[in-house]
Structure 1
Amino acid sequence: MRGEVWRRGLPSGKKVYVAQYRQNGPLPALEHRRARLPDARLGGQEAARRGRESGSDPIAQRRAAGAVSLFSEIADEFMRTHVAGKRKARTLEAYEILLRLHILPMIGALRVTDIRRGHISKLLAGLAEHLGAANRALSVIVAVWRRFRCRCQTIC
């Protein structure tokens, strides 16, 4: 196994130390944000050792993380499979309006696993003048999230 560690500067001005090692193929890069180069070298060596011992492939892990669906995809599936068949027409229409006008513009492009409390708080703050819409939007988000969790448990 061969490894390298070097420092790279980000556009923000932050220093990033990159540890790269070869394990049965191309060189996957593992980043370590450390204050000093010796710490980055040790961190890179430790990450490489853990990768060798576990047989993990960082590239495959990144691809698996990228396989997580976007919130908009999960919301579309939720609307097709759950709401369309089990709710009244007016409820379907209200959910579609909430998704189209408020929810999807804010969090639709995010992967479901990347959505944080701050995203939801920002969305609800934008609906502060319309408390009923904010409460309904939150209930739709929670319902979509629960649907995602159920789907993950059956797939994973």
Structure 2
Amino acid sequence: MSDLSRRDAVKMVAGLTMGVMVTGDINGEENKKVADPFLESASKWPWSFRIIEQVTFKTSPTESNLFFTSAHAPGHLPNVGRLLLGSMCVFRAETDHNEFTRQGGLYWECGKTKGKVQFKQKGTFNQQGALVMAIRDLEGTVNCYSLEPDLRC
């Protein structure tokens, strides 16, 4: 019998689970290199992340497109995250625009309206900028959630 405690076993399983989430591979096969593994994981498995802060703002329900102009999202143009009415997206907030974005700020545009929101808390894993899940309802209300990996057991 091994001297492995229950606590050590839980830590080991949590570490292996995080490794699978980041790499997306359980067979040990080599995958393509991912520039931002947390962004990729949050896009595929948002339930494996926890919310550390919420920011809400209102947009026009008649404008279908909302653009986060200081964000990077997989499959979109650089520095632009697109959000339609009644949908959600996950993106990384860019920090290289100005002092506001370095302090957790995001710029957005919806039609002719421009605005900005800011996250106050800095997550442990958000050294590159906040990892954000944005949800826009059919009335134009946008809820932005700052995320970080949920490593709780």
TM range (shorter): under 0.3
Query: What is the TM-score when the length of structure 1 is the normalising length?
Result: 0.24
- Name the structure where helix makes up a greater proportion of residues: 1
- Name the structure where strand makes up a greater proportion of residues: 2
Instruction: Specify which structure has the bigger relative contact order, considering alpha-carbon pairs within 8 angstroms and separated by 6 or more residues.
Output: 2
